Structure 1
Amino acid sequence: MANSVRVSGLVAATLALSVAGASANERYSATDIREDIIGKRIYLATPFGGEFPLNYRPNGVVDGSGEALGLGRFAKPDDKGRWWIRGNRLCQQFTSWYKGAPMCFELIRTGERTLKWIRDNGQTGTARIGNNI
């Protein structure tokens, strides 16, 4: 009996570790993007330590504001556009940011509420998944 309890505990611990390990560094699927990103505020980490919020609304609109980061001195601080999913990538196009050019991102889960993004031009960064909007 004691051996079966020990084995059961070992199996449970191994399963817990494998499930936790599977969630880190896993590429997002289209379903994952719909479940984990859409309807949420996503905070992009900036090189100078702040966070830039983007809202991925369920109706296909994405909007953001860089006012808290002082973007108004360099560019239009607020913009909105649209998002869509192509394959397993999240795509977006803003009205004026990035000169209105469409771009797509591969997303890689790095933690329960964190991710790495890789833009179609090779640029990379990190983000934090916030609350529902």
Structure 2
Amino acid sequence: MGDFNHTDICWRDNAAEHKQSRKFLECVDDNFLLQVTEEPTRRGATLDLILTNKEGLVGDVKLKGSLGCSDHRMVEFRVLRAARRVRSKLTTLDFRRADFGLFRDLLGRIPWDKALEGRGAQDSWLIFKGHLLQAQE
């Protein structure tokens, strides 16, 4: 939980204008973190973030008034106990049963030059990840 000061990040679209903010989004994504603050905390921007690595671990997020002279709203939340935690539908892969030849063939059929042409790193990663997950099925 903290004040990250990336005023240009749109958390709903997972997008940002500035390079430093895009790097921050990439870091959040690369570390499999979820950002759970949904409302703006300062002048229309969501700056005070709650990052978690497990869905359902943090809940009851509420924004309150400001504390003292601060222009940020206070963020109140609960760390949920195991009894109230939402069970994750995380599946794990059995690599012993994987057909890596087929996997390589499926990914090899994609015209990567055209698929990634003119795209930035974030868009390219999302396209690659989508194809990777599709081939995994």
TM-score bracket, normalised by the shorter chain, equals under 0.3
Structure whose residues are more often strand by fraction: 1
Normalised TM-score (structure 1): 0.25
Under a length normalisation based on structure 2, what TM-score does the superposition of the two structures give? 0.24
